[in-house]
Amino acid sequence: MMLIPCPWCGPRDESEFHYGGQAGVAYPDDPGALTDAEWARYLFFRDNPKGPFRERWSHTAGCRRWFSLVRDTVTNEIVA
Amino acid sequence: MSGAFRTARGGLVDRDRPLRFRFDGVEYEGLQGDTLASALLANGVHHVASSIRLGRPRGVFAAGVEEPNALVQIEEPFPEPMLPATTVELYDGLVARGLRGRGRLADRPDPARYDATHAHCDVLVVGAGPAGLAAAAVAASSGARVIVVDDQPRPGGSLLGAAEHLDWVASVAGGLRAAPEVRLLTRTTAFGYYDDNHVVAVERRTNHLGAQAPAHRSRERVWRIRARHVVLATGAHERSLAFADNDRPGVMLAGAAQTYLRRYGVRPGRRAVVLTTNDSAYAVARDLHAAGVEIAAVADLRDSPGAGRAPHGAELLPGWAVAGVTGADRISAVTLRRLAGGAFTGPELRLDADLLLVSGGWNPVGALYGQAGGRLAYDDGLGAFRPDGGCRQALEVAGSVAGTYTLKGCLAEGAAAGARAAEATGFRPGEPDLPETADPEVTPGVAVWTLPGDPATSLVDLQRDVTVADIARATGTGMRSAEHVKRYTTAGTAHDQGRTSGTLTSGIVAEMLGVNVGDLGTTTFRPPYAPVSFAALAGRDRGMRFDPVRVTALHAWHVAAGALFENVGQWKRPWYYPRDGEDMAAAVLRECRAAREGVAMMDASTLGKIDVRGADAAVFLDRLYTNMISTLKPGAIRYGVMCRPDGMVLDDGTVIRLAEDRFLVTTTTGNAAVILDWMEEWLQTEWPQLRVYCTSVTEQWATVALVGPESREVLASLAPGLDVSRDGFGFMTWRDTTVAGLDARVCRISFSGELAYEINVSWWDALALWEALAERGITPYGTQTMHVLRAEKGYPIIGQDTDGTVTPHDLGLGWAVSRTKADFIGKRSFTRTDTARTDRKQLVGLLPDGGELLPEGAHLVAAAEPPLTALGHVTSSYHSAALGRTFALALIEGGRDLVGRTVWATLDDGLAPVTITGAVLYDPEGARRDG
């Protein structure tokens, strides 16, 4: 059970949060201008590193705010 | 008399409190303070169980949680399977029997209560032996909040087994119990060590009381502890080594024998042979000798035992080992021979003995350290794996878990670890008060894994019946890792988790492969460290408390009306309202007829309702819905579909425009929270510049659907101020008015194709509205009738007729997808090659030729003869009162081009022909909508 630092509420149990996958995957400015391959990359492709990973979390059982953090996927250490 | 093998005095048992118990049908007597194992040994019972695979007789092997052999089934007072007899505290009236392998769960409900506690502390100390107590005392002296957990009924750890320094134990424990910020939990096993110092333990609160357990007290309690710093003082377990017939009753770990003698006042036998690789067994031999157990010989695998001193009268045999054991149900003799260069040599020495005490060295109990993410490294000097000190979590290890085996060392390490833990959490520890202890000279042990002898009877994992031969078979097939050998042989997978056998397995595998045991390593440690009952893990979250139950304001009315209920998410929704003698089919046909031919009503309060307001609310909803929302006029309503970016339908519902900057959107019942989260996610992460606020109002508005050709007259009579005329109150508009004297918002929406209204009132007023309608004799209907009515009209239910791979076009909802909006979520995906295919599965109607009610989920195939080409599946299937027959909805490849064609539904007993139709089977012109 990780202790996740919510920027608004402070450290809380992992079970209060909802995981949101890789951070920084922005909705494209003009999806219509993208090729099928580019759009597929936005829809379906995500990094899966062994080590530090910037990812999104939502404090669903608390303040309900989304935020990003960097977690080491090997140790679960939250490094930033 | 509590057994022929009980000593005259000594031990931590209460000789004034005899306890009666029954084992394998025989009455025995034990003492308060006994375990079932010690009480059996006091009565001379060694053969307790049989092994699971080989059926070999098995005795008591150890004295604690590490016991692999003596598994019992508790029968009375309440059945409990597979407990080591060494961990069952004896109580009056206990009835148990030995097991061969698996036990038996109770066949009646468990009347006991189980609960859970969340706890937080600065320092958590796991283990209340000498190191743990020293750590706890020092940490507590700093004022830190300290929790100490220990699996035994009283603190002391190894000092209980040695029955020494008990005054110091009592004094430290008394101090801990008196300290306001300290909690000392006995009978509590820490079984899981998770991320960020989250340690989970189970406290056995009444198990030791048997039938006398008070009903109000929970039997077990799960402790979920978040500690800023942890001290692991989990001790060490003695291990055996593999030799022929090393599993016979009477073969026992040497340290266990000392515990039985000193802690329980039990002589485990009359005449013993000792086999050891290290110094620790010598003290055991001397103790037993002093208590009247004859020590026939001490065979020490070291050529120079050094400081080892055999008791008077016992032969010390350096370099000798066990060549054979006589006796199956209980040993009667031990054969010793000299070992040279890995082989026996010279004459045999056969000694009569009913006890063979073995010490193959000690394994630090590193399971929790491993669970915490730490590694165990092999220590050549120790001949065992111990924590490598590199764990990233905030923890200390102290005492024999760290590989320190002298009492003096354990105490000093414990005190130092407690001080470090206190300092790490910002406290200033005091000076430790430790007992005076001797500092004996230690001669290093020798790591020996196997002795020459029959590998097929040389047991490695006693509980799983894994032999040296089994491991040779695994390495012979080419396995090179401890993990693979574990899975192939099952060594270490029994409920003792290989506590006495894990290191031995690694050692034997390494020897066979000719590699260093340290390079081979251990298997992975995973929770739980010791078995935990599901009842304890469930705690109070069972039965009604398993999941919240949500009911509408009208629930009591529905119950009184005899409704049957359907679970929709957490909601209880009326399913149908059977009248006397009606079955479900009859009730639903009646309810459907009322809605199509007269007037009927349904509690639709569970519909998700979200209030969306703000200057950019219309822009926001234009981006979320596939169709245009911003052109909606205040006072009007529009049906809308939401997709995910991949173009697949996420939800549908209605959008009501309350004002320029305010909308009320509805969601499907099960999706209300999902859609609110969905809105929040886009607003927070992609469009934070939009001025929009979303609020769930599901439980503020109660909704009653009033349906049927007579609904207009009913509404007119209840809402005299409302113009209910066809032109005055048009389809897909809403009005604020008064209905039955209650403030209400009435929407002209239909989910049945009939003239219909949805009347929304405050949750508090719902019953008054419903009763006013019920007084007019209006038929209530449930979700089943709702489903039939909507399916007759081809209206899909998101989540029933869709599965996350269905686009609006697949559902025939292309009309609800805007061509003019520049973008909305999902738009780009509609032109993806795959999404634009014309042979995608499409929603169609089905009419079974033979009138069968098709099972939902039934596959549809193109022809009655093989090859059976799969075309799709049935998503909804009902009896229709209006059609006078059964019908279904289905997703079929290119289905809209197949209307009129026959395909085949796969049923349990064969294939049934069905005819494909359009999805709308009832009133396809929509003539009934306006009444």
Q: Which residue among A2, A58, A65 places its CB closest to the CB of B196? A: A2
> B915 and B868: one domain?
yes
Beta strands in B329-394 (DSSP E): 333-340, 343-352, 355-359, 362-364, 376-379, 384-387
- A38 inside domain: no
- Summarised one tens digit per residue, pLDDT across range B193-209 is 999 999 999 999 999 99
Q: Are B911 and B900 a contacting pair, CB within 8 Å? A: no
Q: Do A2 and B195 touch (CB under 8 A)?
A: yes
Which residues from chain A sit within 8 angstroms of residue B226, using beta carbons? 3, 13
pLDDT at residue B64, as a whole number: 95
Tokens of B210: 């048997």
> B259 and B231: one domain?
no
Q: Are B233 and B125 a contacting pair, CB within 8 Å? A: yes
Which residues from chain A sit within 8 angstroms of residue B392, using beta carbons? 75, 77
Burial B433-443, CB ≥16 within 10 A → b, else e: ebbebeeeeee
CA nearest to B118 within chain A: A13
Report the alpha-carbon angle B350-B355-B361, nearest 5: 100
* Cα distance between residue B564 and residue B576, in whole Å: 6
Total number of residues shown for chain A: 80
Q: Do A39 and B686 touch (CB under 8 A)?
A: no
Q: Do B195 and A40 touch (CB under 8 A)?
A: no
Reduce the DSSP state of residue B749 to 3 states and report it: coil
Q: Are B704 and B602 a contacting pair, CB within 8 Å? A: yes
Which residues from chain A sit within 8 angstroms of residue B822, using beta carbons? 32
pLDDT at residue B544, as a whole number: 87
Number of domains making up chain A:
1
- A76 inside domain: yes
Enumerate the H helices of B633-782 as residue ranges: 672-685, 711-718, 766-774
> B390 and B319: one domain?
no
Question: Within an 8 Å CB–CB cutoff, is residue B830 touching chain A?
Answer: no
> B513 and B461: one domain?
yes
Read off the amino acid at residue B755: L
- A33-37: long-range contacts at Cβ-Cβ below 8 A with a sequence spacing of 24 or more? A34/B828, A36/B832, A36/B833
Report the alpha-carbon angle B36-B39-B43, nearest 5: 135
* Cα distance between residue B80 and residue B57, in whole Å: 22
What is the extent of the structural domain holding B75?
A: 14-98
What is the extent of the structural domain holding A14?
A: 1-25+45-80
Question: Within an 8 Å CB–CB cutoff, is residue B689 touching chain A?
Answer: no
Q: Which of B639, B679, B668 is nearest to B656 (CA)?
A: B639
Q: Do B195 and A14 touch (CB under 8 A)?
A: yes
Among A66, A72, A79, the strongest candidate for a mutation testing the B interface, having the largest count of B CBs within 10 A, is A66
The pTM assigned to this predicted structure is 0.92
Question: Within an 8 Å CB–CB cutoff, is residue B306 touching chain A?
Answer: no
Question: Within an 8 Å CB–CB cutoff, is residue B593 touching chain A?
Answer: no
Helix axes B502-513, B482-489, angle to 10 degrees: 110
CA nearest to A41 within chain B: B646
Read off the amino acid at residue B536: A
Indicate which CATH number applies to the domain containing B749: 3.30.1360.120
Q: Are B587 and B579 a contacting pair, CB within 8 Å? A: yes
* Cα distance between residue B570 and residue B784, in whole Å: 17
Q: Are B860 and B870 a contacting pair, CB within 8 Å? A: yes
Report the alpha-carbon angle B891-B894-B898, nearest 5: 95
> B191 and B317: one domain?
no
> B585 and B613: one domain?
no
Which residues from chain A sit within 8 angstroms of residue B832, using beta carbons? 36, 39-40
Tokens of B274: 């000792």
Backbone angles phi, psi at B418, to 5 degrees: -60, -40
Which residues from chain A sit within 8 angstroms of residue B224, using beta carbons? 1
- A30 inside domain: no
- What is the mean pLDDT, run by run of 10 residues, along chain B of 931 residues? 86 96 97 98 96 95 95 94 96 95 88 95 98 98 97 96 92 96 98 97 96 94 98 97 97 97 97 96 94 96 80 89 96 96 94 98 96 95 94 96 95 98 96 89 90 97 96 96 95 89 95 95 93 94 92 98 96 97 96 97 97 98 97 97 97 97 96 96 97 97 98 97 95 97 97 97 98 97 97 95 96 95 96 92 96 96 90 97 96 96 94 95 92 84
Indicate which CATH number applies to the domain containing B926: 2.40.30.110
Q: Do A31 and B833 touch (CB under 8 A)?
A: no
pLDDT at residue B308, as a whole number: 65
- B109 inside domain: no
Nearest CA-CA distance, residue B831 and chain A, Å:
8
Q: Do A30 and B823 touch (CB under 8 A)?
A: yes
pLDDT at residue B498, as a whole number: 87
Burial B781-792, CB ≥16 within 10 A → b, else e: bbbbbbbbbbbb
Q: Do A39 and B195 touch (CB under 8 A)?
A: no
* Cα distance between residue B465 and residue B840, in whole Å: 56
- A33 inside domain: no
Question: Within an 8 Å CB–CB cutoff, is residue B677 touching chain A?
Answer: yes
Last residue of a domain, which of B638, B662, B696? Answer: B696
- B532 inside domain: no
- A36 inside domain: no
Q: Do B685 and A31 touch (CB under 8 A)?
A: no
Tokens of B355: 């006890």
Q: Do B195 and A1 touch (CB under 8 A)?
A: yes
Indicate which CATH number applies to the domain containing A70: 3.30.2270.10
Nearest CA-CA distance, residue A32 and chain B, Å:
6
CA nearest to A20 within chain B: B681
Backbone angles phi, psi at B700, to 5 degrees: -90, -35
User: For chain A, which residues lie within 8 Å of any Cβ of chain B, measuring from their own Cβ?
Assistant: 1-3, 13-14, 18, 20, 26-27, 30-32, 34, 36, 39-40, 42-44, 56, 58, 60, 64-66, 75-77
Tokens of B150: 């220990």
Question: Within an 8 Å CB–CB cutoff, is residue B226 touching chain A?
Answer: yes
- Summarised one tens digit per residue, pLDDT across range B588-643 is 999 999 999 999 999 999 999 999 999 999 999 999 999 999 999 999 999 999 99
Tokens of B924: 């396809």
pLDDT at residue B307, as a whole number: 64
* Cα distance between residue B24 and residue B574, in whole Å: 53
Q: Are B750 and B789 a contacting pair, CB within 8 Å? A: no
> B630 and B595: one domain?
no
Which residues from chain B sit within 8 angstroms of residue A65, using beta carbons? 684
Helix axes B468-476, B482-489, angle to 10 degrees: 120
Q: Do B195 and A64 touch (CB under 8 A)?
A: no
Among B685, B818, B824, the strongest candidate for a mutation testing the A interface, having the largest count of A CBs within 10 A, is B685
> B732 and B771: one domain?
yes
Which residues from chain A sit within 8 angstroms of residue B195, using beta carbons? 1-3, 14, 76
- A52 inside domain: yes
Q: Are strands B294-300 and B395-397 parallel, antiparallel or unpaired?
A: unpaired
Tokens of B135: 């750590």
Q: Do A39 and B829 touch (CB under 8 A)?
A: yes
Q: Are B159 and B408 a contacting pair, CB within 8 Å? A: no
Q: Do B196 and A1 touch (CB under 8 A)?
A: yes
Query: How many Cβ contacts (< 8 angstroms) between chains A and B?
Result: 56
- B800 inside domain: no
Nearest CA-CA distance, residue B195 and chain A, Å:
5
pLDDT at residue B172, as a whole number: 97
Number of domains making up chain B:
7
> B228 and B347: one domain?
no
Q: In the 8-state DSSP scheme, what is residue A14?
A: G
Indicate which CATH number applies to the domain containing B684: 3.30.70.1400
> B654 and B613: one domain?
yes
Q: Which residue among A13, A31, A44 places its CB closest to the CB of B828? A: A31
